[in-house]
Amino acid sequence: MPTPLPPRWGLSDLFQGIDDPAIERHQAVCRRRAETFAKTYRGKVVTLSDRQLLSALKMYERLLQDAGVPETYAYLVFSVNGKNPRHGAFLQKTKEAYVAIYQTVLFFELALVEAKTSMLRRWMGSPVLKNYAHFLEELLRGKPHRLPEREEALMSDLRLTGSAAFTRLFDEELANKTFLWTRGKRRVCTMTEILDLLHDADRAVRKEAAAVFTKGLREESRRLAYMLNVIVQEKRTEDRYRRYASSEASRHQDNQTTQAVVDVMTKVVEKHYPFVQEFYTWKRQLLGVKELFDYDRYAPLQESKQRCSFEEAQSIVLKTFSAFSPQFGAYAKEFFDKGWIDARPGSGKMHGAYCMPVHPNLHPYLHMNFEGSVKDVRTLAHELGHCIHYRFARKQTYLNFHAPLTIAETASVFAEMLTFDHLRSRVESDKERLALYVGMIEDIFATVFRQTAMYRFEQDLHEAVRKGGEQSVEAINALWRKRTVQMFGNSMTITHGYDLWWSYISHIFDRPFYVYAYAFGELLTLSLFAKYQKEGQKMLTPYRDLLTAGGSVAPDVLCKRLGFDLHDPAFWEQGMQVVSDLMSEVKTIHRRLITSR
């Protein structure tokens, strides 16, 4: 009997299809509501009583919540099949419709921002407006960087045909990109399939996969470099108008953190680059090769070829979550039972994985490409962690719903660590245990060290564009190589083909400086998980409280409640200690294997 394919999601909770007439009706209702809101409140915001302002805030957030649904639906459709040109056109149309609605009510936030600071502070302290205190606080923080209404509207209009358009083009190019595999049976591969071959136990397969992938990227390199240059230049222009001191300053503001905190974390990570170098020197010896190349990075141990079906992955994840908390298990089970997961790879489907929230009154959707590896099991757990975070945050209203990126990775990484714990408790041999540990360590390295190296690369790139204008493919390659070699040192030989691999990293294109949030969230969660291992179920309530807070509380305040100080290097070192402990354990397992032969 053939193994059932991974699931496709159903989106009928949103709309019945891209031609559903309910979409235009929904948008028309939102436009009318926006116009009514503008007539009611334009020019009157600073004259409102606290209760009147509360009423306006509730109306405003409900409008934004509802207006964004068609665009979310369009993105979900597009990400599963970007090859269909109608899907791309539909996504663009919904983006334009949302921007038009948003611009109608844009005056409201700007009026709040333009109020006197003393008035903003009074609103923040008002018991009537308590639910919106953090939202108002963030408006105050961003006050120096807001523009007059006409300029804000112009920025959002131009973005549709600027960075947003190039980001969509990037997604379409890579979703539709194919790679010709000629080793053995000739076939055409998607990007997901070709990258999966980099995990093959056969070194010749990995080497060929890297060469085929590089060849495909080289074919697109001029276009991709041009797209990236345009995106960086647009950000440079907007940052100048908004008076940001550095390229990454706007991201820090969105993440509700500071340059000082990110610098502390980054320095701690770079200080521990020797962990990476030590591990890959050890792995080279383990694999028995004289020289380790970049295509060997994810070389599995011969014993780690095990694959599992989606049903087996589902069982593992549900058992893991339920053992931690029956409530977590029940929340996760809904996604499988109700068809909210799309895990089947396919031509035109976007590479990678994500959890897409809609709004507090509706469930999220989970997108991934499940190929059956142990890593895919952890990815499933990771994205379900995001989904459960949003499930808890549904107690918040829309303006408080989304946690900043620095906190958003907490639940996902915690879920992944729980799953790793479950998997290592069930393995029966040190051979399997060694493979499991190596995979987990490499995932942590990819999240902490690699993402930090990418962040440094982005800093270099944005600085180069600011000083020297448009950068060539070769110049971008050199910046990428510099930060890659800095991380790996002499433990790995970086081929020149790898120099182009910046060009498939979506976050560099669609969300500049997004990547450091992965390292931030991973180290924060490793410290949190270490605390859980010491305290057990005592951690469940404060952890649930963190998830429930959504975006209603600043990250540093949430962390202080858990006893963490983000400004203290010692906090980040706690996460690094977990990494060090895992490396020690994997070496102990390896020694046992050697002595037992």
At 102-144, the pLDDT tens digits run 999 999 999 999 999 999 999 999 999 999 999 999 999 999 9
pLDDT confidence bin for 276, thresholds 50/70/90 = very high
Task: Look at residue 42 and tell me whether its pLDDT is greater than 90.
Answer: yes
Task: Look at residue 78 and tell me whether its pLDDT is greater than 80.
Answer: yes
Distances (CA, A) of 505 to 27, 45, 167, 457, 510: 33, 43, 11, 12, 9
* Strand ranges in 304-358 using DSSP code E only, listed in sequence order: 341-342, 354-356
Could you give the percent of the chain with pLDDT greater than 70? Answer: 98
* Paired tokens of 24: 């235009």
Cα–Cα dist 334/572, whole Å: 35
* Paired tokens of 178: 């194919």
Helix (H) or strand (E) holding 529, with range, is helix 516-535
Cα–Cα dist 298/196, whole Å: 10
- Calculate mean pLDDT across residues 222-228: 95
- Calculate mean pLDDT across residues 165-170: 88
Residue with structure tokens 């038009």? 100
Task: Look at residue 303 and tell me whether its pLDDT is greater than 90.
Answer: no
Q: How many Cβ atoms are within 10 Å of 6's Cβ, its own excluded?
A: 22
Task: Look at residue 304 and tell me whether its pLDDT is greater than 60.
Answer: no
Task: Look at residue 581 and tell me whether its pLDDT is greater than 70.
Answer: yes
First and final CA of the chain: distance in angstroms?
A: 39
Q: Decide: helix, strand or coil at residue 180.
A: strand
Residue with structure tokens 């102990």? 588
Residues 6+ apart with CB under 8 A from 171: 78, 79, 82, 350, 506, 510
Cα–Cα dist 514/239, whole Å: 16
- Residues making up the chain, counted from first to last: 597
pLDDT confidence bin for 2, thresholds 50/70/90 = low
Q: Model pTM?
A: 0.87
Of 89-98, 110-119, 273-282, 345-354, least confident by mean pLDDT is 345-354
* Paired tokens of 39: 């007539």
pLDDT confidence bin for 597, thresholds 50/70/90 = low
